[in-house]
Amino acid sequence: MTDRIALVTGASRGLGFAMAEELATLGWHVVAVARTVGGLEELDDRVKEKRQPGAGELTLAPMDITNDDAMAYLANSIGERWGKLDLWVHAAVHAAPLTPANFLDMKDWDKSVAINARATGMLIPLIAPLLGAEGQALFLDDPRAGQMYFGAYGASKAAQLALARSWQVESAKIGPRIRIETPAPMATATRARFFPGEDRSVLADIKAEAARLVALL
């Protein structure tokens, strides 16, 4: 069994799915977390189809990252089973519908804050001890703060990245290593909702972008 353990939050679709698949293909044991059971099962099927000697394994964790008790249980379980994490990829995100700030829907606002900001603040203290001094955490930036109609998404994502950047400078000398990367525009379902009618042929391939980001690690 591989001794490289990765946690991917938001692994059931989009870039999180692609990065979990890429890591497992390269021999990592990936703990894949998402609420969507079907997406996790599809990920498992994809990894099994590509199984090669030396490939990694998946542990599927159908959990809600906004559930404090569930995430505490997850962190404790990882600690008991492996005693560490080598990598955390935080790809979970809520992309609220675009709307003018003066027409914000409070359900979308609350969900954006809960998933994009609050959950990150809850997860970091749980996961940091597992990463120790040698582990890495990867956050994915999407700088939309202040852009027209991106109020809920842009503000909550900016809050997430502000917290990640604080952790980054605080950990610079003592670890873990905190990475913040901005993925290239990709042909994802989320982007299609944000930019309907966009020419998707000019966008980056999600699998290629996942491979590029994993290579940075």
Contact 49, 76 (CB under 8 A): no
Q: Is residue 104 very low, low, confident or very high in pLDDT (cuts 50, 70, 90)?
A: very high
Contact 142, 182 (CB under 8 A): yes
Residues 6 or more apart whose Cβ sits within 8 Å of residue 22 = 207, 210, 211, 214
- Summarised one tens digit per residue, pLDDT across range 35-69 is 999 999 999 999 988 766 666 789 999 999 999 99
Spell out the CATH class of 5-210: alpha beta
The pLDDT of residue 49 is: 85
Residues 6 or more apart whose Cβ sits within 8 Å of residue 73 = none
Q: Is residue 89 very low, low, confident or very high in pLDDT (cuts 50, 70, 90)?
A: very high
Residue type, 119: A
Top pLDDT among 189 and 32 is at: 32
Residue type, 13: R
Helices (H), ranges, the chain: 14-25, 37-49, 68-81, 106-112, 119-131, 151-170, 189-194, 206-216
How far lies 9's CA from each of 71, 123, 124, 149, in Å? Answer: 11, 10, 12, 26
Q: What average pLDDT does this structure show over 25-43? A: 95
pLDDT at 97 over 60: yes
Q: Is residue 105 very low, low, confident or very high in pLDDT (cuts 50, 70, 90)?
A: very high
- Summarised one tens digit per residue, pLDDT across range 149-201 is 999 999 999 999 999 999 999 999 999 999 999 999 888 888 888 888 888 88
The pLDDT of residue 2 is: 60
- Summarised one tens digit per residue, pLDDT across range 112-153 is 999 999 999 999 999 999 999 999 999 999 999 999 999 999
Burial class, 4, CB count within 10 angstroms (exposed 0-12 / middle 13-18 / buried 19+)? middle
